[in-house]
């Protein structure tokens, strides 16, 4: 390709991709499939590699271009970043309306907006290109987090249509509730303390030093304010509409209200509807719409006079703390859980609440018998947020965090800089053993789906499986006839599990099949602390076999891409235990893959997180070969089409019902040649 054509094509691709990003992330209305999008992006990446001189600063390939920052630069805000005065009642809103009416003789119109619960950000665009993103800081100056903000896909790197040469728009970076729950479950799985709420998760994420890490966090951003009359419109609402035309993400839920009665109905409507949003809001913001009037009213030292926040009462109830249980998880982390007098809260009966860790207990100074306030945050499990001190019993005493494991008696440890207490008896403490067994068989690890929590419990209780190597020594006669009845829970039904012929055959088959699982998944399945899926892949592709990992020195480990001190330490400690070496020997004898296969040597993670369904017959490949190719490139195979399917590889004679379902769910059907294109990097 000659230089001119390359430049033209790069420009054209940047435009196209930006348009598709806007359709997908901002309008939630994509016009092409993910596959087609990926193809455009790949083409752009390869052209930029061949013609770096034409790579543009606003290219969609450089969302994660910035280098890690040790300390963020401080930037003085051009317009101070003020906050809003808060109000909590209808009376206060009416007082605000009266104050406003005294400040002008002209009729007033309000705009009501959701009050997003995240962290405020100011975005500067110069000639339509995002050049700076600054946090609120103290309102006068904030941190330059531009490289991190560029990773948020709903923030355009370049604007559409017409825009001023330079202007700043402000908004809120937040985390979706789905994303927050996912992130917390991954963190707990890896032994990291979970974030207390989506706001903390969002602000923690935006302050991370490495944009690559930030890119993995489910952050979003709504824009809601243009300071200093920088746009053409004479109303706030008009400004937002202009910003929307430029491709900026504006909430659909803002409404113009002609009077304070309309404002009150907006507030009451959202007090109920907010529970159906996929993000948290903590109130409503009411703004005078006319910018001339806003200017007349001006600001106090801290807040604009022309706006006010109405804060929702958090759904909070009071109940009695009856006792605290201490639960031990797979990693040995001990979580205190409060047992409460059952109470209704936001549509459910709450009996338990998480207390997270010892610091939270001592900061709250919560005591048995206290009347505690319970709130629902982003988490499914509610939390204790305060105590009614007036009702505290005279003889109550502070809760003492346990010093020994409630399950096996081992003294607990607490590492510097970590919030959780741990039981270190990882190989003999029952919930840790069961947790490890469950992790081992889980879908992303050995994928033995004929076993599950209940069956594992039976095997453990019958002393048949005490560690992961025991699975591979199970015999038909050990299993047949085993029975267990689980007591009735809330549903009122007992559950009976019994191992009949078919069940036993399936279990043994599942275990046998797991011997084909690739080395990286086996390493992940071992349940070494901090060795998640990605770390396992890094280690296996670097060291090739288990003995090399076992013999690696600390410095060698930390030299591997993405392996830090904490992980290296954890790996060394694990392999230093003679019991673990024995475990590895037994797994090796059983025939598990403890080294990279010849053909997995050239494995990639191109298809990571992508789920495929293969349907029909093919010319070039057998179905098994396709499956293998998918796995070798980090993708997943499933048998049936669901909303989680990313692609269907469709051959001849694909069933009509499958085809219909695919079309209905909008899942792309690709040929085997399209698939080949996908895995060519």
In the complex, the residues that contact ligand IVH under the rule CB under 6 A are: 82-84, 113, 115-116, 120, 172, 224-225, 285, 304, 307, 309
Minimum CB distance to ligand IVH, residue 255 (Å):
12
288 or 549: CB nearest ligand IVH: 288
Place of tokens 């991709």: 17
142 or 382: CB nearest ligand IVH: 142
257 or 667: CB nearest ligand IVH: 257
Minimum CB distance to ligand IVH, residue 269 (Å):
16
36 neighbors 666 (Cβ within 8 angstroms): no
Could you tell me where the DSSP H helices lie in 365-429? Answer: none
Angle at 209 between CA 206 and CA 210, to 5 degrees: 95
253 or 550: CB nearest ligand IVH: 253
Please give the Cα distance from 39 to 630 (Å, whole number).
Answer: 17
Minimum CB distance to ligand IVH, residue 589 (Å):
60
Around Cβ 94, how many Cβ atoms within 10 Å?
14
Please give the Cα distance from 574 to 568 (Å, whole number).
Answer: 10
181 or 305: CB nearest ligand IVH: 305
Half-sphere exposure of 641 (CA within 13 A, CB side): 22
Overall residue count recorded for the chain in this entry: 681
Minimum CB distance to ligand IVH, residue 80 (Å):
9
Burial class of residue 350 in the structure, from the number of CB atoms within 10 Å of its CB (0-12 exposed, 13-18 middle, 19+ buried): buried
User: Which residues are marked as active site?
Assistant: 115
Minimum CB distance to ligand IVH, residue 145 (Å):
15
Residue 134 is encoded by which pair of tokens?
């600054």
* 3-state DSSP assignment of residue 232: coil
Please name the helix (run of DSSP H) or strand (run of DSSP E) that holds residue 187, with its range, or none: helix 177-189
Q: Extract long-range pairs of 12-18: CB within 8 Å, 24+ residues apart.
A: 13/40, 13/43, 13/44, 13/47, 14/44, 14/56, 14/58, 14/59, 14/60, 14/158, 16/40, 17/41, 17/44, 17/60, 18/58, 18/60, 18/156, 18/157, 18/158, 18/247
Q: Give whole-number Cα distances, 500 to 344, 478, 607, in Å.
A: 42, 12, 39
Minimum CB distance to ligand IVH, residue 77 (Å):
11
Minimum CB distance to ligand IVH, residue 538 (Å):
38
Please give the Cα distance from 31 to 22 (Å, whole number).
Answer: 10
307 or 321: CB nearest ligand IVH: 307
Q: Checking phi first, is residue 537 left (phi over 0); if not, alpha (psi -120 to 50) or beta?
A: alpha
Minimum CB distance to ligand IVH, residue 84 (Å):
4
298 or 452: CB nearest ligand IVH: 298
Nearest to 271 by CA among 307, 313, 306: 313
610 neighbors 647 (Cβ within 8 angstroms): yes
Residues 6+ apart with CB under 8 A from 84: 285, 303, 304, 307, 308, 309
141 or 424: CB nearest ligand IVH: 141
């Amino acid at each position: 390709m000659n230089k001119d054509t390359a430049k033209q094509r790069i420009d054209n691709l940047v435009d196209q991709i930006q348009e598709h990003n806007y359709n997908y992330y901002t309008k939630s209305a994509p016009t092409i499939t993910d596959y087609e999008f990926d193809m455009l992006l790949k083409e752009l990446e390869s052209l930029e590699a061949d013609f770096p001189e034409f790579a543009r600063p606003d290219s969609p390939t450089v969302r994660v271009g910035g280098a890690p920052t040790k300390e963020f630069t401080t930037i003085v805000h051009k317009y101070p970043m003020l906050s809003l005065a808060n109000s909590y009642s209808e009376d206060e809103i009416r007082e605000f309306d009266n104050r406003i009416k005294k400040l002008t003789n002209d009729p007033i119109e309000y705009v009501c907006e959701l009050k997003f619960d995240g962290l405020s950000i100011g975005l500067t665009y110069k000639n339509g290109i995002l050049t700076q993103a600054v946090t609120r800081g103290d309102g006068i100056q904030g941190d330059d987090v531009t490289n991190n903000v560029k990773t948020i896909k709903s923030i355009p790197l370049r604007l559409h249509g017409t825009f001023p040469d330079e202007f700043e728009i402000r908004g809120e970076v937040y985390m979706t509730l789905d994303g927050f729950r996912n992130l917390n479950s991954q963190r707990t799985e890896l032994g990291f303390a979970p974030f207390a709420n989506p706001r903390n998760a969002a602000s923690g994420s935006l302050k991370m030093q490495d944009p690559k890490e930030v890119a993995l966090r489910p952050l979003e951003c709504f824009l809601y304010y243009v300071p200093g009359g920088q746009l053409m419109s004479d109303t706030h609402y008009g400004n937002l509409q202009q910003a929307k035309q430029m491709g900026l993400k504006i909430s659909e839920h803002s409404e113009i209200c002609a009077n304070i009665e309309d404002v009150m109905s907006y507030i009451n409507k959202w007090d109920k509807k907010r529970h159906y949003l996929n993000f948290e809001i903590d109130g409503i913001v009411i703004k005078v719409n006319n910018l001339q009037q806003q200017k007349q009213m001006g600001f106090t030292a801290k807040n604009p006079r022309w706006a006010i926040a109405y804060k929702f009462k958090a759904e909070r109830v009071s109940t009695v703390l009856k006792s605290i249980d201490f639960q031990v998880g797979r990693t040995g982390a001990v979580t205190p859980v409060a047992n409460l007098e059952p109470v209704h809260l936001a549509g459910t009966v709450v009996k338990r609440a998480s207390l997270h860790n010892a610091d939270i207990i001592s900061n709250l100074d919560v005591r048995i018998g206290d009347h505690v306030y319970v709130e629902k945050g982003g988490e499914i499990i509610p939390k204790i947020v305060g105590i009614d001190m007036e009702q505290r019993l005279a003889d109550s005493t502070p809760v003492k965090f346990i010093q020994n494991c409630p399950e096996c008696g081992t003294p607990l440890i607490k590492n510097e800089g970590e919030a959780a207490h741990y039981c270190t008896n990882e190989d003999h403490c029952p919930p840790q053993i069961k947790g490890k067994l469950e992790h081992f068989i889980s879908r992303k690890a050995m994928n033995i789906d004929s076993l599950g929590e209940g069956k594992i419990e039976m095997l453990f209780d019958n002393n048949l499986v005490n560690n992961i190597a025991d699975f591979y020594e199970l015999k038909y006669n050990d299993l047949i006839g085993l029975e267990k009845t689980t007591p009735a829970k809330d549903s009122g039904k007992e559950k009976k599990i019994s191992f009949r012929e078919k069940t036993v055959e399936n279990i043994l088959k599942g275990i046998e099949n797991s011997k084909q699982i690739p080395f990286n998944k086996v390493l992940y399945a071992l349940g070494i602390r901090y060795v998640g899926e990605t770390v396992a892949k890094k280690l296996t592709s670097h060291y090739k076999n288990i003995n090399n990992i076992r013999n690696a020195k600390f410095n060698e480990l930390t030299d591997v891409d993405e392996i830090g001190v904490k992980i290296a330490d954890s790996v060394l400690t694990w392999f230093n235990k003679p019991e673990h070496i024995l475990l590895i020997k037994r797994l090796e004898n059983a025939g598990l893959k403890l080294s990279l296969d010849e053909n997995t040597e050239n494995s990639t993670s191109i298809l990571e997180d992508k789920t495929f369904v293969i349907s029909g017959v093919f010319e070039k490949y057998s179905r098994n070969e396709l499956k293998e190719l998918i796995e070798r490139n980090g993708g997943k195979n499933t048998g049936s089409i669901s909303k989680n399917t990313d692609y269907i590889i469709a051959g001849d004679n694909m069933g009509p019902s499958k085809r219909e379902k695919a079309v209905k769910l909008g899942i792309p059907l690709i040929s085997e040649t399209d698939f080949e294109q996908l895995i060519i990097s």
